[in-house]
Amino acid sequence: MECYEGTKINMPIKTFRGKIADGAEDTIVLHTNNGVTGYRITKLQVMGAEPGAGTYELVLQIWKVSQTAISAVVDFSDQTLLGVGYYRDNAGSQYTDSVIIIFDTDIFNQDIYLTAVDVSGNAKPINYYIELEQIKLDLNENTVATLKDIRNNA
């Protein structure tokens, strides 16, 4: 793996997978007492719970803060948004499945929150798979990540 400075490093990868219901929020617990472990999203994949067996139009979003209202609206100007996965499947259509994945390379050291909405109105759940690169933070990086999280939660 290449880091930004171009030197080779082997950072541990943590993986998370699960199924989230329409209109729900899941928490991935990452916080530590000292905050010296940071994370960066390296992979995000989404898939309907019954691919090819109905109509899906699902939006999964990853947030730095818990959401008070679950929505399918995607706003890239929101600095608390870490990633978005969009999955569309229509078994009765001539069109193929569609998956769009976009994520930020921001480093965070607190819990993250996943929300899901089935915009087709069929209230179907969505499967997710996330890979996070684990990063050891020095004191300055720890302070910056923690202050960002405090500001986002304010």
Q: What is the DSSP string of 85-113?
A: EEEEEETTSSSPPEEEEEE----B-S-EE
8 Å CB contact between 11 and 1: yes
Total tally of structural domains belonging to the chain: 1
Is 38 within a domain? yes
8 Å CB contact between 82 and 106: yes
Q: Which of 62-76, 119-133, 137-151 has the lowest mean pLDDT?
A: 137-151
pLDDT at 124 over 50: yes
Is 112 within a domain? yes
**pLDDT tens digits, 42-97:** 999 998 888 777 778 899 999 999 999 999 999 999 989 999 999 888 766 656 56
Is 4 within a domain? no
Q: How far apart are CA 138 and CA 40, in angstroms?
A: 15
The domain spanning residue 56 has which CATH number? 2.60.120
pLDDT at 19 over 60: yes
Q: Which of 134, 148, 105 is nearest to 37 (CA)?
A: 134
